[in-house]
Structure 1
């Protein structure tokens, strides 16, 4: 029986390009076909887009207890190395890295499918790999999960497939899961990258053979696992191997949880600073606007005194609104307020709004990640709790280890739930800040409208007064024109008659009653006409010069 399954196993390894259809375990395929994890999500074409194509970029590293680290860079090295590693140590850790969660895995497709076929990894891992693609955009970031199965009883003989050549009994525990973690980008404030780790674990229940396959975008987990293995003794019994399994699970979960608090603190500090910016843009009373002239220090001090940290208001449904918004003074805008007192520099611009939306996006994604991580932790804890209840006889030497594991996993879940509560509170603060900014903008717009309405009314009153004065002046001019129309003809007649053009009889020497002096008339006409023409030409010259200056 064992040799038959061994030959089938090697045949499965030879057919590794067909992974996962070449796997021996029928239960794994049935589980996948049932639809919980769908293979078409990552088909043959999709799988090719996950892996590096350049030969210089392909490598799989291995670490084990009491052995030096090994790196395989080709399919031939991998085939030979896996067989040798199986003989050297019962505990194997294999690492496939990526430079980033959105980058290609540093492994060729052939090496990956052979590795999965050699350890009979369930097809569930394909779905967990769906975000390892060459893209800066978050693809399928919502999808994460936990897959676990175990065969511990001889009653499951149809699923027991021993492979004697490799020392595999056919009784095993297997888990595949993915956890998300946050990684701060160096030299970039408030820049956190979303990263992930995909884990496959297999544990032989009868002989303690352990396999860990880690696919992740950060080298720090590899280093931490190697540091842990350096402290382990080469010769381990079954209980110690299972204890190491539980310890590795805990270390991976704790490692993914480490950066959350730093992320939350950074967002808190940024929101504190942003809240000061929003506070500075609040509407102020006339006295507050007058006090602005005393300097920026007094303003900063007053803002600092008014500011309260975000979590001091966690129980409140809404943030405190600006204090002067609903004062009776603001109901009627004081006409003494000048336009420069409505200082536009105190308001926020579009970059502040974009920054607020960036906070919202980062917090929403972080909240989703925390919820999914919490779900994976719960399933992992439940997996071992169910295993302990069903197969307690096989783990009698590890009861205390299982209890410790359950306790630590509970503490980790509580920490994740606290992070969720903190992130939800920060999201509510972001929403309140956005509403706050909208209210400030609406109120300032109303204030400006009131100001311009008052100024328009004053301008209209001034124009009305000017119109009244113009009407009065026009009436006076009409009177003057009437007088001029009456007296100018008489004045002209009197002047003309007294000019000597007509000479009236005043002595006996004059035979006629009057005489027309033509020479005097010509002199009078010449003087008047030349003077009129000179005035007309002077006026036209002035208008022409004025027009030229305008041009």
Structure 2
């Protein structure tokens, strides 16, 4: 059988991925948890998966390209089994690459394309023939894996699910027996409000080099001797609203060390990876795939291309943070030197002062620089892991000696070293910004504490003055209360008799002695009128004079209170000379 039954059973049960994998070392419970993550990283609508297959022909120096933009489950099934994009294909010439000019040319279809066209016609006839439904089902004859296949998964942005359905994703991963650990990498593409999942990074690799496993299939062109890995790199990019974010790209790679076939799966928040690979493929020819060693060398070049993401956008990002920090420092420098808000005595001369908003701006630069430091450190570790993986398998597996040439290995190692050095230079600059922002934050915090202490001191002075004023006012009030009480008592005693005496001394009521010695009383209304005409104006004048007297006394008391406060605040020093002499004597 072209395809082993165990592999066919895995294909049939693709919906159970990753528990349906033929060879997987992860525990079953762990595999089930991966399955739950896939549900959140996919979406049933807006499906679009790009394929780029590279085929080589022995009688042609050019590479045959097979490209497809798959939007449905049926088209995906047909592409994986036959390499045909649609069940009703439109005849078109194959795209070819001119290795000398580096341009894609149109040419005659290769024998491989001709065979695919025949297969497509058979599918079309099967769909049209009325007896096809009653025909006995036959085993599916799968197309051999291309020499190199690129699968591009993408999302609307880095915080959205991938534009692929769960069925399509599990079918692709099952067909290529993608390691379950890759689910952990693509699970960051989910609906989320904050970039928490974007902080994930790692490198995982597995090898099957000693003996073929159950995935070996002559029909698919798989020897069962392979290694596969998954990793991610993160870069900095500016969004449309001028906000800098850290975005990641995840990769899966599988290489058959006997057949020389390679598989690449990438996932990103856009299609930048497709454009990058399309540009790189233009520079390839059949010499890059003429034998297993050439295929292996081409995979190293793709890894080098991926590693360039470690340095993408970081220069602009560090310059942005440096400019932000300089701008904040320039704003706060006058305030730090005393040209901003200052305090003289108990009064403030300027309204501008350092606020919590200034502290937040400094903390923003510090937080972003620290986040960038952690990201760059993770990228450096992944580069080291990638280089160490290839160095290890080539040193410990003698059977892989035919894959390795000193030139390829030296170039690969040197390219990764250059990328690592450039990344470390960015890391150094981010460390500088991080420490400067931390120092600036400490200064701002101390300035805020100083302003708070000044405000507290002014408030305490005001409260002290208020307490002194209250005390002095209480003393004066006590004195006046005693005087008023005495006057009130005296007035109450003498008021009745003085009023009666005053009234009886007038001509209003007069007591006279008659001729025969009998007293008689007389009353004069005219006298009463004259008395009122004189008394009322005098009463009004008395009230006015009393009012002005009250105002004068109030001002006098305020001055007295102020003097009392000054005496309380600055008590006289007794025996100052003697104290000074005694101090000198000591």
> Which bracket does the TM-score occupy, shorter chain normalised?
0.7 to 0.9
- Relative distance call for 1:499 and 1:481 in structure 2 (3 A) is farther
Match of 2:247 in 1: 195
**Which secondary structure does the structure 2 equivalent of 1:22 belong to?**
coil
Please tell me whether the aligned partners of residues 160 and 171 of structure 1 are also in contact (alpha carbons under 8 angstroms): no
- Relative distance call for 1:476 and 1:140 in structure 2 (3 A) is closer
Distance, in Å, in 2 between the alignment partners of 1:453 and 1:197 is 59
Query: Given the two structures, how large is their TM-score scaled by the length of structure 1?
Result: 0.72
Give the deviation of 1:389 after TM superposition. 1.2
Distance, in Å, in 2 between the alignment partners of 1:17 and 1:481 is 105
Q: Structure 1 residues 446-455 or 531-540, which shifts more?
A: 531-540
Q: Structure 1 residues 228-237 or 158-167, which shifts more?
A: 158-167
1:164 aligns with 2:218: yes
Match of 1:306 in 2: none
Equivalent residue for 1:268, pick from 322, 344, 347:
322
- Relative distance call for 1:142 and 1:187 in structure 2 (3 A) is closer
1:400 aligns with 2:407: yes
Q: Structure 1 residues 94-103 or 4-13, which shifts more?
A: 4-13
Match of 2:303 in 1: 249
Match of 1:48 in 2: 39
Q: Which has the higher helix share?
A: 1
1:150-183 deviations in Å (ceiling 9; x for gaps):
344xxx2253753211222232232111222232
Distance, in Å, in 1 between the alignment partners of 2:510 and 2:208 is 147
Match of 1:20 in 2: 18
Please tell me whether the aligned partners of residues 198 and 246 of structure 2 are also in contact (alpha carbons under 8 angstroms): no
- Relative distance call for 1:88 and 1:533 in structure 2 (3 A) is same
Distance, in Å, in 2 between the alignment partners of 1:432 and 1:347 is 16
**Which secondary structure does the structure 2 equivalent of 1:346 belong to?**
coil
Please tell me whether the aligned partners of residues 95 and 214 of structure 1 are also in contact (alpha carbons under 8 angstroms): yes
Equivalences for residues 14-163 of structure 1 within 5 A: 14-25=12-23, 29-30=24-25, 32-33=26-27, 38-43=30-35, 45-54=36-45, 56-64=46-54, 65-67=63-65, 69-85=67-83, 89-152=146-209, 156-157=210-211, 159=213, 161-163=215-217
Please tell me whether the aligned partners of residues 280 and 346 of structure 1 are also in contact (alpha carbons under 8 angstroms): no
**Which secondary structure does the structure 1 equivalent of 2:178 belong to?**
coil
Unaligned runs of 5+ in 1: 293-329, 541-551
**Which secondary structure does the structure 2 equivalent of 1:196 belong to?**
strand
Give the deviation of 1:429 after TM superposition. 3.6
Give the deviation of 1:84 after TM superposition. 4.4
Distance, in Å, in 2 between the alignment partners of 1:352 and 1:161 is 61
Q: Structure 1 residues 458-467 or 243-252, which shifts more?
A: 458-467
Unaligned runs of 5+ in 2: 55-62, 84-142, 544-586
1:172-197 deviations in Å (ceiling 9; x for gaps):
23211122223211232xx2233222
Please tell me whether the aligned partners of residues 17 and 114 of structure 1 are also in contact (alpha carbons under 8 angstroms): yes
**Which secondary structure does the structure 1 equivalent of 2:8 belong to?**
helix
Give the deviation of 1:226 after TM superposition. 0.5
Equivalent residue for 1:282, pick from 321, 336, 345:
336
1:391-437 deviations in Å (ceiling 9; x for gaps):
46624663112112112222323333343444344334444333333
**Which secondary structure does the structure 2 equivalent of 1:166 belong to?**
coil
Equivalent residue for 1:388, pick from 374, 388, 394:
394
1:338 aligns with 2:338: no
Distance, in Å, in 1 between the alignment partners of 2:337 and 2:301 is 57
Give the deviation of 1:374 after TM superposition. 2.3
Distance, in Å, in 2 between the alignment partners of 1:90 and 1:171 is 15
Please tell me whether the aligned partners of residues 212 and 225 of structure 2 are also in contact (alpha carbons under 8 angstroms): no
- Relative distance call for 1:275 and 1:98 in structure 2 (3 A) is same
Give the deviation of 1:69 after TM superposition. 2.7
Give the deviation of 1:114 after TM superposition. 1.8
Please tell me whether the aligned partners of residues 221 and 255 of structure 1 are also in contact (alpha carbons under 8 angstroms): no
Match of 1:258 in 2: 312
Distance, in Å, in 1 between the alignment partners of 2:179 and 2:541 is 107
Distance, in Å, in 2 between the alignment partners of 1:342 and 1:426 is 31
1:94-145 deviations in Å (ceiling 9; x for gaps):
1111122221111122221221122221111111122121223335444432
- Relative distance call for 1:531 and 1:226 in structure 2 (3 A) is same
Equivalences, count: 472
Equivalences for residues 178-193 of structure 1 within 5 A: 178-188=232-242, 191-193=243-245
Query: Given the two structures, how large is their TM-score scaled by the length of structure 2?
Result: 0.68
Distance, in Å, in 1 between the alignment partners of 2:526 and 2:488 is 30
- Relative distance call for 1:195 and 1:490 in structure 2 (3 A) is closer
Give the deviation of 1:494 after TM superposition. 8.4
Distance, in Å, in 1 between the alignment partners of 2:505 and 2:429 is 109
Distance, in Å, in 1 between the alignment partners of 2:228 and 2:435 is 40
Distance, in Å, in 1 between the alignment partners of 2:257 and 2:153 is 26
1:232 aligns with 2:226: no
Distance, in Å, in 2 between the alignment partners of 1:396 and 1:4 is 27
Distance, in Å, in 1 between the alignment partners of 2:295 and 2:472 is 100
Distance, in Å, in 2 between the alignment partners of 1:67 and 1:468 is 104
Give the deviation of 1:245 after TM superposition. 0.9
**Which secondary structure does the structure 1 equivalent of 2:219 belong to?**
helix
Please tell me whether the aligned partners of residues 62 and 70 of structure 1 are also in contact (alpha carbons under 8 angstroms): yes
Match of 1:377 in 2: 383
Equivalent residue for 2:368, pick from 359, 362, 366:
362
Please tell me whether the aligned partners of residues 146 and 376 of structure 1 are also in contact (alpha carbons under 8 angstroms): yes
Please tell me whether the aligned partners of residues 66 and 234 of structure 1 are also in contact (alpha carbons under 8 angstroms): no
Give the deviation of 1:472 after TM superposition. 8.6
**Which secondary structure does the structure 1 equivalent of 2:336 belong to?**
coil
- Relative distance call for 1:471 and 1:405 in structure 2 (3 A) is same
